[in-house]
Amino acid sequence: MWTGELSASFPFLIVHAVGDPVPIAPCHTLMRAAATPDKELLELDGASHQILSDPAWEEPLDHAVRWIQQRIDQPPQQPVVANK
């Protein structure tokens, strides 16, 4: 498994179902490795791999829309430069 540093300076949101058969560990690795301070991992209890097909699909969708809207409404952050 990759354990390096990700020098990306863009914001990102990861949405993952806790009970998903796809392991969540790589998401945690990405969160630790990403240089950008603007990152979020939304872990959803009781959701399946196909989150938007779940009965509670509106929660993750609303969260993602709010997350994007907050970044549209605020001035851009200074890029993060990773130390090499």
Rounded CA gap, 37 and 10, in Å? 9
Cα separations in angstroms, 12 against 30, 47, 56: 10, 20, 22
pLDDT of 78 strictly over 50: yes
Cα–Cα nearest to 18, from 54, 43, 55, 53: 43
Domain ranges of the chain: 12-73
| pLDDT per position as a tens digit, 19-77 | 899 999 999 998 988 888 899 999 998 888 888 888 888 989 999 999 999 988 876 55
Cα separations in angstroms, 37 against 52, 56, 61, 65: 27, 29, 22, 19
The pTM of the whole model exceeds 0.85: no
